[in-house]
Amino acid sequence: MKLKWAFLSLSFFVVTLLSGCNLLVLDPKGPQAERQAHDIILSASIMLFIVITVFSLLIYMLIKYRASKQSEDYEPPYIEGNKWVESIVIGIPVLIIVVLSIVSVRSNYIVESAPEGYEEEPLVVYASSSDWKWHFSYPEQDIETVNYLYIPTNRPLEFKLYSHGSITSFWIPQLGGQKYAMSDMVTTLHLAADEPGEYMGRNANFNGKGFAENTFNVKAMPQADFEDWVEEVKETAEPITEDKFQELLEPGHLGQLTFNGTHLEFSPAPEGENGGHQHGNSEHDKNQHSSEEASEH
């Protein structure tokens, strides 16, 4: 009876745990995500091997060296250290760390680089966040969307990430890892989608009371369908204006919106001369520095 209740309790725990897990990272739809899923499975397999080995040894030791009916004056024999045991105890953890370090460095280099094996040039999308929404600007297509993203399959994607407020983190689990978006600089994230479908995207960095709904929808489609969608937007969408964009930046939640043109024309991304990390190298900073010196004199 005790064994039965223990089995039922374990089954309930496993089902409850798995029902709360988001396993999208283990269902990759692009090369970057596939590499990361491979590393997760490799790391989990190594840890599982360690856990099974340690618990097996623990059970063996508890059974073999359990307490027995010895006399009160019994003294166990003195045993000196064993060099082979000590080598194994120290060597195996060091070997595991070396293997995982090599895998991590190689994978980091791969996922940070543009995906290889694609014929077309990357599609550049400026993905910016505000409380609590996402703005996607397509400079090449001269269109903009809010809270949804359309992308072509089998083509590299180059996301330029930044924020109009607090720090956020851009994440599409089935296409790749997350990367931060900040207000005074632009970070670049390389992704690609190999299969058409609808994917979930979200902000993975807590940024206030609207964080839970700071999500966006992603739809991957063949290049021809993507071009048809662009043409439809150009024909039907209203142009985005500076006043409208300032209204969109107000804290709150919105549905999915589509615009002709992009806000980059009147509110450029913080890169180049507009960046926050120029350290006095841009012409604007030089002029400002000169003005400050003139005012001091």
Q: Is residue 40 part of a domain?
A: yes
Q: Is residue 233 part of a domain?
A: yes
Please write the tens of the pLDDT for every residue from 102-138. Answer: 999 999 999 999 998 898 999 999 999 999 999 999 9
Alpha-carbon gap, residue 124 to 194, rounded angstroms: 17
For residues 239 and 192, membership in a common domain is answered with yes
For residues 239 and 171, membership in a common domain is answered with yes
215 sits in the region (left: phi over 0; alpha: psi -120 to 50; else beta) called beta
Q: What is the mean pLDDT of residues 210-232?
A: 96
For residues 57 and 152, membership in a common domain is answered with no
Q: What is the mean pLDDT of residues 267-295?
A: 57
For residues 90 and 211, membership in a common domain is answered with no
Ranges of beta strands (E only) in the chain are 123-130, 133-138, 143-146, 148-152, 157-163, 168-171, 179-181, 187-191, 197-203, 215-221, 238-239, 257-260
8-state DSSP, 121: P
Lowest mean pLDDT among 29-43, 57-71, 185-199: 57-71
For residues 100 and 163, membership in a common domain is answered with no
For residues 215 and 161, membership in a common domain is answered with yes
Alpha-carbon gap, residue 152 to 221, rounded angstroms: 5
Higher pLDDT among residues 22 and 158, named by residue: 158
Banded pLDDT at 5 (limits 50, 70, 90)? low
Tally the residues of the chain.
297
Q: Is residue 10 part of a domain?
A: no
Q: What is the mean pLDDT of residues 27-31?
A: 94
The domain total for the chain is 2
Phi (first) and psi of residue 243, to 5 degrees: -65, -40
The per-residue pLDDT for 284 is 40
Contacts of 107 by beta carbon, 8 Å cutoff, 6+ apart: 35, 36, 39
Cis peptide before 229 (omega within 30 of 0): no
pTM for the full model? 0.79
Lowest mean pLDDT among 82-86, 118-122, 135-139, 247-251: 82-86
For residues 99 and 155, membership in a common domain is answered with no
Alpha-carbon gap, residue 85 to 99, rounded angstroms: 21
Q: Is residue 37 part of a domain?
A: yes
The per-residue pLDDT for 24 is 85
Q: Is residue 263 part of a domain?
A: yes
**Closest-CA residue to 29 (of 140, 174, 126, 171):** 174
Q: Is residue 205 part of a domain?
A: yes
Higher pLDDT among residues 271 and 262, named by residue: 262
Please write the tens of the pLDDT for every residue from 160-186. Answer: 999 999 999 999 999 999 999 999 999
For residues 154 and 99, membership in a common domain is answered with no
The per-residue pLDDT for 290 is 44
- Helix or strand (DSSP H, E) at 231: helix 223-236
Q: Is the dihedral of CA 110, 114, 115, 117 positive or negative?
A: negative
* DSSP strand pairing (197-203 vs 187-191): unpaired
* pLDDT at residue 257 is higher than 70: yes
For residues 98 and 231, membership in a common domain is answered with no
Q: What is the mean pLDDT of residues 215-221?
A: 96
The residue segments making up the domain with residue 105 are: 24-62+86-113
* pLDDT at residue 293 is higher than 70: no
For residues 157 and 107, membership in a common domain is answered with no
> Residue 185's domain is classified under what CATH number?
2.60.40.420
